[in-house]
Structure 1
Amino acid sequence: MSELKRVAKTLIAYLKRPDLYPELGRKIIKNTLHRGNAGKGKDKTNSWAISIAISQKDAVAKLFGINDLKFRNENKLILDESSGKEKTCPVKMGGAGALELIYYASEFTKATNVLETGVAYGWSSLAALLSLEKRNGTLYSSDMPYLGQNGDQYVGVVVPEKLKNNWKLFRFADKESLPKIFSENKIFDVIHYDSDKSYDGRIWAYDELYKHLRKGGVFLSDDIGDNSAYQDFCEENNIESTVIEFEGKYVGAFIK
């Protein structure tokens, strides 16, 4: 599909969803007036991340005191079944991410309430849910519909049916989803950010999410090397962050 056709198809999909008009307006502004902000501070943050990054295994040990990572062995059957679902999915979405980090953050905090932004195939959702089910906890997820891609029915495809009773999925942009989520639950044990990658989008979301993370809770953010939003947020709030190198990208993590 050509770029022009893709844009036209996406615009038509937006116009059919009045509830998404606020996000459409924000996207128009972001892609015109604020287009230059997307990668703001990228070089600075990548230099910072390279200088302090550690492996996911070392991060789990440092943050949570867990040295023996049994997650994949203990959940091999479910993970294999989920991998098969991803392979047969006709729509291409985001990769699996640092699953052990998400799972052990939930175990460390004995989480009963976890919030994530960004779902795609649902790998991060699966990692959180495998921990939450032990305590009958709830995962609240914000995920923008895949407009123009005919992919909505595949969001969360790797999550087994048996785990979905512990999952609440809000299909709006974060600025609409998060107020709805916070009206149901205000404080969270773990927050995982993996949605709007723009500088402005991240800064807004980090500030908002941080208010709802309990003391002792874990904050995770994917792809922090896209711009300096995460680094700037941590410096402005005197937060000492751990940076994890994962498959050529960087994840930020800290305990509040």
Structure 2
Amino acid sequence: MSEITRVLKTFIGYLKRPDLYPELGRKIIKNTVNRGNAFKGKEKTHSWAAGKAVSQKEAVSKLFGREIDAFRTDYAEVLQTAAQKEKDCPVKMGGPGALELLYYACEFADAKNVVETGVAYGWSSLASLLSLAKRDGTLYSSDMPYLAQDGDQYVGYVVPENLKKSWKLFRFADKESLPKIFADNAVFDVLHYDSDKSYNGRIWAYDELYKHLKKGGVFISDDIGDNSAYQDFCEKYSIETTVVEYEGKYIGVFVK
């Protein structure tokens, strides 16, 4: 699909969804007036993150007192099935990230309520749900429709049917989804951010999510090296964060 076709298809998709008009307006501003916003402070934060980075294994051990090796063994069949489903999916989206970090964050927090932004295939959703299922917990997810790809039916594709009863999926932009989620449940044990990567988008969401994280809960944000939003957020609240290097990218994680 050419870039022009993709943009046109996305625009038409927005026009068909009046409930997404607010996000369309934000997208237009982000891609015109605030075009450089996505990478604000990137160089500064990349150096900062690189200097603090540890492996996923080290982070889980340090923060949660757990070893990560059992995860791949205990859920080998589930993960293998999920990988095959991703391979067979006709629409390409984001692949698995630091699944152990998410799973053991939920275990550490004895999580019953988790919120995430960004779903795609649902790898992160799967990791959280595997833990939540032990406690009859609920995962609340915010994910924008894939307007250019005809991929809506594949969002969460790798999540097994038996886990979906514990999952509430809100198909709007974060600024519309999160208030709906917080109206349904106000306090969360684990937060995972992996959606709007712009500086302004992150800063807004981080502040909102942090308000709803319980004391002792776990905050996780992917791709923190894209700009300085996460670093600035941590400095604003005097947060001592751990940084995880995973497949060439950086993840921020801390216990509130």
TM-score by length of 2: 0.99
Paired AA for residue 148 in structure 1: A
The aligned runs of 1:226-245 (5 Å cut-off) are 226-245=226-245
Q: 1:163: which partner in 2?
A: 163
Contact 2:60 2:68 in 1 (8 A): no
Residue aligning to 1:174: 174
RMSD: 0.6
Q: Give the aligned residue type for 2:220.
A: L
Give, as a single letter, the amino acid of the residue that structure 1 aligns with 2:30. Answer: K
For residue 122 of structure 1, what is the aligned residue in structure 2? Answer: 122
Task: Letter of the 1:137 partner, please give it.
Answer: G
Q: Secondary structure at the match of 2:141?
A: strand
Residue in 1 that maps onto 2:100 = 100
Aligned mates of 1:175, 1:184 — CA distance in 2: 15
Counterpart of 2:134 in structure 1 is 134
Aligned residue type for 1:211: K
Residue number in structure 2 paired with 1:59: 59
Instruction: Measure the CA separation in 1 of the matches of 2:160 and 2:36.
Output: 40
Gaps of 5+ in 1: none
Letter in 1 for 2:3: E
Q: How far does residue 2 in structure 1 lie from its aligned partner after superposition?
A: 1.4
Deviating beyond 6 angstroms after TM superposition, the runs of 4 or more aligned structure 1 residues are none
Equivalents in 1 of 2:179, 2:202: separation in Å?
A: 16
Q: Partner of 2:183: helix, strand, or coil?
A: helix
**Distance (Å, rounded) in 2 between the aligned partners of 1:37 and 1:168:** 31
Distance 1:13 1:223 in 2: 27
Q: 1:254 maps to which residue?
A: 254
AA aligned to 1:79 is: L
**What residue is the counterpart of 1:111 in the other structure?**
111
| Paired residues for 1:172-211 under 5 Å | 172-211=172-211
How far apart are residue 67 of structure 1 and its match?
2.6
- How far has the Cα of 1:123 moved from its partner? 0.2
Which runs of structure 2 are paired with 1:84-99 in the superposition (5 Å)? 84-99=84-99
Would you say how many aligned residue pairs link Structure 1 and Structure 2? 256
Q: Deviations over 1:199-219 (max 9, x none)?
A: 000000000000000000000
Structure 2: stretches of 5+ with no match in the other structure = none
Identical columns (%):
74
How far apart, in 2, do the equivalents of 1:102 and 1:67 lie?
Answer: 13
Q: Deviations over 1:141-166 (max 9, x none)?
A: 00000002100000000000000000
Following superposition, the deviation at residue 68 of structure 1 comes to 5.0
Report what 2:72 is aligned to: 72
Once the two structures are TM-superposed, the CA of residue 69 in structure 1 deviates from its matched residue by: 2.9
Structure 2 CA distance for aligned equivalents of residues 246 and 95 of structure 1: 13
Q: Does 1:223 align with 2:238?
A: no
Amino acid at match of 2:254: F
Superimposed CA distance per residue, residues 79-107 of structure 1 (whole angstroms, 9 cap, x where no aligned partner): 00000000000111011010000000000
Q: Which amino acid aligns with 1:187?
A: V
Amino acid in the other structure paired with 1:74: D
Q: Quote the Cα distance in structure 1 between the aligned partners of 2:202 and 2:67.
A: 31
Whether the aligned pair in 1 keeps the contact of 2:244 and 2:251 (CA below 8 Å) is yes
Alignment of 1:23-38 (within 5 A): 23-38=23-38
Please give the TM-score of this superposition, normalised by the length of structure 1: 0.99
